[in-house]
Amino acid sequence: MSSMAFLKRSPWILHYDASSCNGCDIEVLACLTPLYDIERFGIINTGNPKHADILLITGGINEQNRPVVKNLYEQMPEPKVVVAIGACAATGGIFRECYNITGGVDKVIPVDVYVPGCAARPEQIIDGVVTALGILEEKRMKMTGEATRPAAGVGEER
Amino acid sequence: MQTLLFLILFPILVACLLLFVKRTTSRYAVVALSALAIGGASVYLLVRYASGGAVYFAASSEATDIVMVAIEMALALFIIVMGVKFRNYLAIALAVVQAALVVYLETTFAGSLHAANNLFVDQFSIIMALIIGIIGSLIAVYGVRYMETYHHHHPEVRDRQRMFFFVIFAFLAAMFGLVFSNNLMWVFFFWEVTTIASFVLIGYSETEEATTNAFRALVMNLLGGVAFVAALIFLAATGPTSGGVDLALVLASGDAAVILVPAVLIGFAGITKAALMPFSSWLLGAMVAPTPVSALLHSSTMVKAGVYILVRFAPVFAGTFAGLSVGLVGAVTFVVASAIAISRSDAKSVLAYSTIANLGLIAACAGVGTYMLVWAAILLIIFHAVAKSLLFLGTGAIEHRIGSRNIEDMEGLIVRMPKMAVMMFIGIAGMFLAPFGMLVSKWAAIEAFVQAPFGLVFIAILAYGSAVTVFFWAKWMGKLVAVTRGTERIEKGFLEEPWVPLYITTAIVILVVFLFPVISTALIEPYVFVIYGMTAHLAQANVAIMLLMISLLLILPISFSLFRKSAKRLPVYMGGRPATPELQFAGSLGMTREAQTQNYYLTGYFGEARLYWPGAVVCIVLILASWVFAGVAL
Amino acid sequence: MNWLWLIGAVLFLVLAPVAGGLIAGIDRKITARMQGRVGPPILQPFYDVGKLFEKERVVVTTAQNFYVLAYLVFIALSGAIFFAGGDLLLTVFAFTLAHVFLVLGAYAVHSPYSHIGAERELIQVMAYEPMIILVVVGFYMVTGSFFVDAIAAATVPAIAYLPGVFIGFAAILTIKLRKSPFDISTSHHAHQEIVKGITTEFSGSTLAQIEIAHWYENIFLLGLVYLFFAWNPVIAIIAVAVTYVAEIYIDNVTARVRWQAALKSGWLAAALGIANLAILSYMMIGGA
């Protein structure tokens, strides 16, 4: 089963705007359009954390959505990855000095991939998601106790 | 014959005894022992008479007839007195008319009011006797504890429990008498006794609402009673051709046109007693009575007497337009009552409408009256009596524990009262899901209607009605199984709740699924065969599949223990908003709000206000049509 | 003894998930092409289900897994009855039982979105139930039997006598396949309404089971379409394909309607079926 690598071929995303200006969000949604068509990779935009593998998050995070982001992250079943899209999600971007902005997603939840840009381009976003898929696969293997080398030990059991 | 007499007379003895028993513990002992005796006697009846067809007993006695007439007059007087006391003149008028007609009947046709055999027993009577003897007794046992708690919760109601149980057991006696009587005069007598019993029991709490509803039930049932006497007069007048008041002779009479008139009139009595539209309001009103009354009279037995008489006359209705009209009354009632049930949130109201609907379905089968339909009708009678009584008993117990009988308040019952919730679950499943009985009967009815004349009309109605029933039952089930968090278990121990009758009834609901092929072969098919010369049954393959399904249903819950450990718990998705387990979240303006879920009641579409009158009007037209057809045929 | 029924049932139980998944994949490919996209590979549904089984086991309440398992078991059983040549009416009622389990699973989690999804699923059931009973009755009227093996072996072209019933059935097929405009309870693709409706709180292997059950049911539904044309297997298969592509097309050109419209449409379809059957029965009485 493990050699089939299902997770890489069927990553479902959850897209959340954490106090973003919507610029990056529009680019994310552009990826879903026929022009870039990420469904050909099996990617579906589910609006439900319990169904999602990848959390695409934009924006710098403020006090209102800090608990929401945590809540969404916790509701996603393992294995999961977080892709922070755009400059705001990485560091807070141009809003970093604002009183309400926490300054980056990694201040609230662990981030696996950062996609730079303001706004990030669809090609970069897709690139980021593909990188995330690799990380996702690693996490899955760790979760099921497999190793990358045949002679490796038992690994973590669940 | 001794068994028959025992079943009719023993409950009367018990009734009289219970007039003197004051303490609940003694009452429980008396009722429980009597229940065992009555139940045992019913089973003995089954064993003794199941094979062999109808057996008739002369049981003739001048004294009996005189006593019956005397009691009928006394009851009429009782109604008049009550009518005067509560100023219900319609009841007085109807009682007077009925009594006058009885007097006319007795005096004018004194010679022709005898039947060769007054009592009889056949497979259909055995089935009815089992329902009365087992289910009825269980309800009586349940009633003892229930009434004690009832008076606890309602200290303002006068404690008339001795009278209550007297009437309950007198009622059981009357029901036995009804299903064992071959003499239609006797049937009428027992019929009237049940009417009075219903009247007294509905008005038990003596509130204004109860009294009004008791009178409504009385008036409507008296209307049926008047029709019944009119039928008797007609039968007595046409004695030679129609068979007189001997049921067996009437059913065997060669002159179809002559017996159609009394059939339609007695059918009308059946319609009023079974609360088919437009007479459904009395059954709704009867829900104010204590739950054992609703379970016993108004779902499993008394109202069954109405459809029982319709099914008895099914061979007369078959192939006639009058019968078709009567059948359509049932069908229309089925779909309209089921639709209205969607809009009700009071549990007893839902159960009442469902009862009315199912009685309508049975009446529809009886009205069209082919052999397959009679088979389906009897199946329906059995399964409905069993499942519905469980649901009423359960609702009563739940109401006493949580203080409400609103379905919305039953949310999360599986956490608060797990055993109760499971039993209700089984009861509701028994009402509409495969492989339980009601579904099997409905399935049989569909297959039967397809092969009947004008069956398509009924199938169309049945299709919509069936769809609608899924909706209101499933959403009730959903409320019961919602696993709410932060609620504690409030179910009490063995002595505080009436567990024994509940457990037994639940077991019966499951058992009849396993047993129904046997019941069909042993009891229903022979009965149908004798009347029609052919019979219907469920194909072997289907029986096997249904046994497979019920077995799966019993085995699957084991998987619960498999799931218990491994999974991690997550909170509910509340749009990302963190919430407590009780679904409280920080809402706008900093206020803590609680997310609440409520079922759809869709009152705008399915409400009583919208659907009742069209249904009632259609049924009135149909009833009148049936009279016209019967008259024209003559 | 004739073991054909067992072969039919076993073949269904084993092959239907495969066939159903492939059809789901082809569905997505065609949808994508209609939208001017490339679309996922045809085996994508299998990747999806495989991935779901690899996810962490999470629940809101352990009861939900029981209900979904019961749902899957009874869907498989119902389809097996159909392909074993069993009683069509029993099949329909067994499917209803299965759907009620799914609904109960959604109620059990006590979540707002799940709850609304469950209610809407029940409305869906209420919408299509009359029509599907009439389909069964229609087959009986034409072939004289309720049993699938007799209906499938019939030499009369059922479609010739039941055109209205077929159109009505096609209408509720949209409901059962969870396609626009009647996907009021949960939707297949990425469409979201009330989040994921009835499947909101299910994830991982539970969600996979629901998906597999959906495949089983789709094969049954296509089988039901086949029955209308069973007198000529070649034409029947073509008809099934055409119907399914038509459903995909309808899915793509319509937007979801409100539940009131879905309910009315389902019941209107049933009325159409009744009209067909009424004319048919009149003709049969006249001709017989």
CA distance C202 to chain A (A): 7
Structure tokens given for B462 = 């049945």
Interatomic CA distance for residues A60 and C157, integer angstroms: 65
What is the residue whose two structure tokens read 């029933």? B469
How far B598 CA lies from chain A's nearest CA (Å)?
A: 22
Helix (H) or strand (E) holding A70: helix A66-75
Q: Tell me the mean pLDDT in the region B358-386.
A: 93
Distance from CA of C42 to the nearest CA of B (A): 32
- Nearest 10 degrees: Cα torsion C65, B471, B462, B613: 170
- Record the tokens describing residue B432, joined without a space: 């509409």
What mean pLDDT do residues B171-176 have?
94
Which tokens in the block code for residue C236?
């029947």
Does C134 lie at the interface with B, CB-CB under 8 angstroms?
yes
Instruction: Report pLDDT for B580.
Output: 86
Contact between residue B577 and residue A71 where contact means Cβ atoms under 8 Å apart: yes
Q: How does DSSP assign B584-601, residue by residue? A: EEE-GGG-EEE-------
**Cβ contact (<8 Å) for C58 and A39?**
no
Distance of CA C24 to the CA centre of its chain: 13
Cβ pair C110:B459 closer than 8 A: no
Backbone φ and ψ of B52, nearest 5°: 125, -5
Ranges under pLDDT 50 in chain C: 287-288
- Partners of A114 in the beta sheet? A84
Please determine, for residue B146, whether its predicted confidence score (pLDDT) is greater than 80.
Answer: yes
SS3 category, A110: coil
Upstream peptide bond of A79 is cis (omega within 30 degrees of 0): yes
Average pLDDT over residues A65-91: 93
User: pTM above the 0.90 mark?
Assistant: yes
Q: For residues B203 and B194, is the Cβ–Cβ distance under 8 A?
A: no
pLDDT digits (tens, 9 = 90+) for B528-571: 888 888 877 777 788 888 888 888 988 888 877 776 666 788 88
Assess whether the previous peptide bond of A132 is cis (omega < 30° from 0).
no
Mutate which of A2, A38, A48 to disrupt the C interface (most C C-beta within 10 Å)? A48
Nearest C-alpha neighbor of B89 from the set B74, B79, B75, B99: B79
Which residue is closest to B577 within chain A, CA to CA?
Answer: A68
The pLDDT of residue A149: 43
Number of domains in chain B: 1
Q: Which amino acid is at B554?
A: L
Give the count of Cβ contacts less than 8 A between chain A and B.
Answer: 26
Q: Which residues 6-25 on chain C approach chain B with CB closer than 8 angstroms?
A: none
Nearest to A58 by CA among A29, A15, A5, A95: A15
Does the beta-carbon distance from B570 to A68 stay under 8 Å? no
Q: Which residues of C touch A48 (CB under 8 A)?
A: 192, 195-196, 200
Which of C29, C51, C195 is most worth mutating to test chain A (most A CB atoms within 10 A of its CB)?
A: C51
User: Domain locations in chain A?
Assistant: 7-144
Pinpoint the alpha helices (H) of B113-153: 123-130, 137-153
Rounded-to-integer distance, Cα C126 and Cα B472, Å: 10
Residue B470 has its nearest CB partner, among C74, C96, C195, at C96
- Give pLDDT tens digits for B515-524: 888 888 888 8
- Chain A residues with CB under 8 Å of C188 CB are none
pLDDT tens across B16-63, in order? Answer: 998 888 888 889 899 999 999 999 999 998 888 888 778 888 777 778
Token representation of residue B58: 């002369």
Contacts of B577 in chain A (CB under 8 A): 67-68, 71
Query: Quick one: how far is CA C126 from the chain centroid?
Result: 14
For residue B375, CA distances in Å to B123, B320, B362, B371, B534 come to: 12, 19, 10, 6, 11
For residue B627, give the nearest of B266, B280, B217 by alpha carbon.
B266
Residue B569, in any domain of the structure: no
Q: Where are the alpha helices (DSSP H) in B403-498?
A: 413-416, 418-432, 437-450, 455-481
Query: How does the average pLDDT of chain B come out, rounded?
Result: 89
DSSP string, B285-309: HGGGS-HHHHHIIIIISHHHHHHHH
**Quick one: pLDDT at residue B496?**
65
A150 SS3 class: coil
Return the pLDDT at A4.
Answer: 58
Residue of B nearest to A17 (CA): B576
**Interchain pair B466, C133: CB under 8 A:** yes
Question: Residue C133 is nearest to which of B446, B471, B483, comparing CB atoms?
Answer: B446
Encoded amino acid at B254, one letter: G
Residue B299 has pLDDT above 50, yes or no: yes
Q: Is B479 part of the contact surface with chain C (CB cutoff 8 Å)?
A: yes
Q: How many CB pairs under 8 A join B and C?
A: 183
Statement: residue A3 has pLDDT above 60: no
Answer whether B570 touches A (CB < 8 Å). Answer: yes
Contacts of B478 in chain C (CB under 8 A): 103-104, 106-108, 115, 118
Token couple for A5: 């690598």
Percent pLDDT > 70 in chain A is 89
Contacts 24+ apart (CB under 8 A), C222-227: C222/C23, C223/C79, C223/C82, C223/C83, C224/C82, C224/C135, C224/C169, C225/C169, C225/C173, C226/C152, C227/C139, C227/C148, C227/C151, C227/C152, C227/C158
Mutation target to probe the B interface, by most B beta carbons within 10 A, among C4, C59, C62 is C62
Cβ neighbours around C226 below 10 Å, total: 16
Per the CB < 8 Å rule, is C40 touching A46?
Answer: no
Chain B touched by C140 (CB under 8 Å): yes
Which residues of chain B does C73 touch, with a Cβ-Cβ cutoff of 8 Å? Answer: 552, 556
A residues 68..97 contacting B (CB < 8 A): 68-72, 74-75, 77
| Residue B138 CB-half CA count within 13 A | 26
In which element (H, E) is residue A16 found?
strand A12-17
Convert B336-347 to b/e letters by CB count within 10 Å (16 or more is b).
Answer: bbbbbbbbbbeb
Domain spans in chain C, listed from the N-terminal domain onward: 2-287
Distance CA C172, CA C162 (A): 15
* Contact between chains at B577 and A71 (C-beta distance less than 8 A): yes
Q: For domain A7-144, which architecture applies?
A: 3-Layer(aba) Sandwich (3.40)
Interval B268-285: pLDDT, tens: 999 999 999 899 999 999
d(C-alpha B336, C-alpha B468), whole Å: 10
Question: Cα–chain-centroid distance for residue A90?
Answer: 12
Whole-number pLDDT of residue C190: 57
CB contact under 8 A, A7 and C51: yes
pLDDT of residue B582: 84
Each residue's pLDDT tens digit, B430-470: 999 988 888 888 888 998 898 888 889 999 999 999 999 99
Nearest-CB residue to C130 (from B467, B478, B563): B467
**What φ, ψ does residue A125 adopt, rounded to 5°?**
-65, -45
Cβ atoms of B299 and B351 within 8 Å: the answer is yes
Q: pLDDT at residue B261 above 50?
A: yes
Residues of B in contact with C169 (CB under 8 A): none
d(CA C106, CA B573): 13
The verdict on B573 touching A (C-beta cutoff 8 Å) is: yes
Q: Give me the pLDDT at residue A152, please.
A: 40
Would you say residue B506 lies in a domain?
A: yes
The span from the CA of B173 to the CA of B474, in Å, is 37
DSSP string, C31-91: HHHHTTS----TTHHHHHHHHHHHS--EESSTHHHHHHHHHHHHHHHHHHHHHTT-BHHHH
Checking if the pLDDT of A130 tops 80, the result is yes
Q: Among positive and negative, which fits the CA dihedral B128, B129, B132, B135?
A: negative
Name the nearest CA neighbour of B523 among B513, B533, B537. B537
Return the pLDDT at B23.
86
* pLDDT confidence band for A157 (50 / 70 / 90): very low
Chain A hits for B568, Cβ within 8 Å? 77
- The closest alpha carbon to B264, from B627, B628, B511, B633, belongs to B627
Report residue B477 as tokens: 């089930």
Domain span holding position B498:
315-559+606-634
Among chain C residues, CA nearest to B602: C260
Chain C residues with CB-CB distance to A138 below 8 A: none
